[in-house]
A and B are shown apart, each in its own frame.
Chain A
Amino acid sequence: MSDPVVVDARGLRCPAPVIRLARAARAASAGTRITVLATDPAAVHDVPAWARMRGHAMVSSTAEDGEYALTVEVAETDEGPVP
């Protein structure tokens, strides 16, 4: 298990938070937990949808004062887009 990674996407609009998260996931090894911080409400829906499309696991999703923290665990085989 690697160290947790935090991606700060606060202030960015869709689809930027998901893109930042995807870049971090690409660079991370399997099992890494990545937390994306966002203020865009669309991220609450789009991060789980992205995780489903890419096979990553959604770990948690919290909201406080209009700020969202969404944590995913990178899957064994993130080879990018499935052909």
Chain B
Amino acid sequence: MSIPTGGPAIRPDVTDATAGDAPAARVFLDAGGRAPLLPEARAAFVEALDQGWADPRRLHSEGRRARMLLDGAREAIAAVVGARTEEVDLAPSHVAALHGAVRTVARGRRRAGSGIVVGAVERAAVLNAAQFVAGEARVVVPVDAQGRVDLDGFRSAVAAPGVAVAALQHANGEVGTLQPVDEVHDAARAAGVPLLVDAGSSLGHVAVGPSWDLLAGDAGDWGGPGGIGLLVTRRGVRRSPDGPEDEDRWFPGGVSVPAALAAAVALQVSEQRRTTEAASLAALVDGIRARVAADVPDVDVVGDPQLRLPHVVTFSCLYVDGEALVTALDAEGFAVGSGSACTSSALEPSHVLAAMGVLTHGNVRLALPPGTTEAGVDAFLSALPRLVAGVRSALGVQGL
């Protein structure tokens, strides 16, 4: 069975982030890694609960039906990313996909060496796996103030002897900056080093292209359900499993079949409307960048203003407690993210903001879901200066 590429009719109004019957509609601007579930994905999920509930590893009819749905999902994803079906593996999360990719390729290529080259603003899963596997032999390539990796530094690091694998994200999901993956992939190929490209924030939003040897993605980010990560491995990349024996060698235990099917449908839908959505969201983000810089005193709007993801923007407000600001925005109907340490249980602030040398406190991170309206963004931009001033006033920082 394959997934109909036409899919159900797309109704752009259905996912309007600011639509709603309630008088005080929520404006959801925190879609990074967990976007609102697309209605088409929801329908596919519900249908697959009936058709594909069985264990796809069983040989009976019920199991084989689940297997067909799972293989259909992989086939559909393969078509979108430009790969063969057998190159597509599904993981129980984006984190598991990234961590597994680094571990298994490093293990498969241990004769080539133990070195791992990563960008400084990769996801924690990549940085952690590289540390876990390579220890002292992990090379972290720094980024500039925009969050873009030092290209010459990356080139020379992959060309050094003894590198097993290199990892560079397609774009940074926190600040939106696109990375030079084409150039880095050329350098990695010349050195015979496989390149893992984390497209967790890019798939379904921008064209990802063919410059990768392993490609990771996150279904929750492109409007599919949470709990499905993607890892595509080009034929010829050596890897070696390090988990228990299982029919799924790379992600033992497998994934939920209904979630896999819904993830594939969501990727098809978001890919189909990517170009029009991107133009509209990029314009909204341009407006946000300009108005935040103009209307909020002492603010750092960070990330590359042009070479960026269409839907992501982040800024840091001096002397502002990030947790207080996120809470105040939420109380007025705006859902936003933050990379400030005080907004999480972690003591450390966002390693991305830290590596860029920008303020880590008072941070607000926006990832606009498809269908975000100008009215919703306007309401946010009208409320923001007042709420920032309120938090600052509570801290008594006027005149500093």
Contact = CB atoms under 8 A, between A and B. Distances in A.
Interface of A: 13-15, 18-19, 22-23, 26, 40-42, 44-46, 48-50, 52-53, 80-81
A51 B397 CA distance: 16
Given A42-B340, A45-B349, A23 B400 contact: yes
B55 to A, nearest CB: 46
B347 interface: yes
A53 to B, nearest CB: 6
B360 A26 contact: no
List 4 A-B pairs, minimum CB-CB distance, nearest first: A15-B361, A14-B361, A22-B400, A49-B359
Contacts of A22: 319, 397, 400
B267 interface: no
Contacts of A80: 399-400
B359 A19 contact: no
Which of A18, A45, A81 gathers most chain B CB within 10 Å? A45
A32 to B, nearest CB: 16
Interface of B: 297-298, 300, 316, 318-322, 340-342, 347-349, 353-354, 357-362, 395, 397, 399-400
A15 B362 contact: yes
27 contacts: A14-B321, A14-B342, A14-B360, A14-B361, A15-B321, A15-B362, A15-B395, A19-B319, A19-B395, A22-B397, A40-B347, A41-B341, A41-B348, A42-B341, A42-B361, A44-B354, A45-B353, A45-B357, A45-B360, A48-B357, A49-B300, A49-B357, A49-B360, A52-B357, A53-B298, A53-B300, A53-B318
B347 A41 contact: yes
Contacts of A81: 297-298, 399-400
Which of A44, A46, A80 gathers most chain B CB within 10 Å? A46
A13 B341 contact: yes
A53 B362 CA distance: 14
B400 A15 contact: no
A44 B322 CA distance: 17
Given A23-B400, A42-B349, A49 B319 contact: no
Which of A19, A44, A50, A52 gathers most chain B CB within 10 Å? A19
B400 A19 contact: yes
A46 B318 CA distance: 9
A42 B321 CA distance: 12
Contact of A26 (B357, B359, B400): B400
A49 B300 CA distance: 10
A80 B395 CA distance: 16
A46 B397 contact: no
Contacts of A52: 357
Nearest to B321: A15
B395 A14 contact: no
A48 B298 CA distance: 15
A71 B341 CA distance: 22
